Amino acid sequence: VDKDYKNIKIIGFDADDTLWINETYFYEAKVSIMGLLSHYASPAKIDQELVRMELQNLSTYGYGIKGFILSMVEMAITVSKSRVSNKIIDKIIQIGKQMHHQPIELLENVERVLTLLSKKYKLILATKGDLLDQQRKLKKSGLRHYFQHIEILSDKKEENYKQLLEHLNLNPQHFLMIGNSLKSDVLPPTQINAQAIHIPFPITWNHEKVKEPKKSDKKYKTLTNLEATLELLI
């Protein structure tokens, strides 16, 4: 075991874009909707309006597909100056329904990594988003049995991690978080003296984008894939 991780007892995993593909589906939905609205606005304009709408609505709807689709509908009404047809609105809603019924596509080597790590550590899942949707995805993923605890958080900030560790009666020095989002999975745990490993996913949602800390301030490791954690942790 790498010296940095010798105290680790519990590993927390993010789910979306860490264990299974997620952001790709949002991206594809956005591209379809841009096509539906091409009569009213350019893809760039649609994207800009959508980012604005999602940020504005985040505190009301939280994370997930439902909030995304409501923001899409609102954006469609705005960019079309209320001229968008009911037919197009219906198509947007249908795209959202399809997103809820997407199959779960695990990232490479997820089961192998979880199998090996679960022999040595207690594993927990810590994800944010829509409760019903995250439960559905976890069930479909077939990964439930690897985790001793599931936490679906409304947000993943320092205080959310603090509460989680208190709830688990765990010293932060014994906790390692692994995930694709610097903003949600990596920086907050390191700020409360826990460890974190960053495994970037090719697409990052606008709202999750943050600047990487300077090298000298960096308190986490970045790996290219999940399997690379084994070398450090086993």
Residues making contact with Mg ion (CB under 5 A): 14, 16-17, 180-181
Q: Which of 210, 164, 151 minimizes the C-alpha distance to 184?
A: 210
For residue 127, what are the β-bridge partners? 152
Q: How far apart are CA 141 and CA 135, in angstroms?
A: 10
Q: Which is nearer to Mg ion, 18 or 195 (CB)?
A: 18
Nearest distance, CB of residue 31 and Mg ion, angstroms = 20
Non-local (6+) Cβ contacts of 187 within 8 A are: 196, 210, 213, 220
Nearest distance, CB of residue 14 and Mg ion, angstroms = 4
Non-local (6+) Cβ contacts of 181 within 8 A are: 14, 17, 156, 204, 208
Tell me if residue 48 falls in helix, strand or coil: helix
Q: Which is nearer to Mg ion, 19 or 92 (CB)?
A: 19
Q: Are 220 and 195 in contact (CB under 8 A)?
A: yes
Q: Which is nearer to Mg ion, 14 or 151 (CB)?
A: 14
Nearest distance, CB of residue 44 and Mg ion, angstroms = 26
Q: Which is nearer to Mg ion, 17 or 130 (CB)?
A: 17
**Burial readout 46-59 (b: 16 or more C-beta within 10 A, e: otherwise):** beebbeebbeeeee
Nearest distance, CB of residue 177 and Mg ion, angstroms = 11
* Beta pairing class for 221-222 and 122-128: unpaired
Q: How far apart are CA 85 and CA 104, in angstroms?
A: 32
Q: How far apart are CA 73 and CA 30, in angstroms?
A: 12
Q: Are 49 and 40 in contact (CB under 8 A)?
A: no
Q: Which is nearer to Mg ion, 14 or 49 (CB)?
A: 14
Q: Which is nearer to Mg ion, 17 or 151 (CB)?
A: 17
Q: Which is nearer to Mg ion, 41 or 129 (CB)?
A: 129
Nearest distance, CB of residue 187 and Mg ion, angstroms = 13
Nearest distance, CB of residue 80 and Mg ion, angstroms = 32
Per this entry, what is the length of the chain? 234
Nearest distance, CB of residue 30 and Mg ion, angstroms = 17
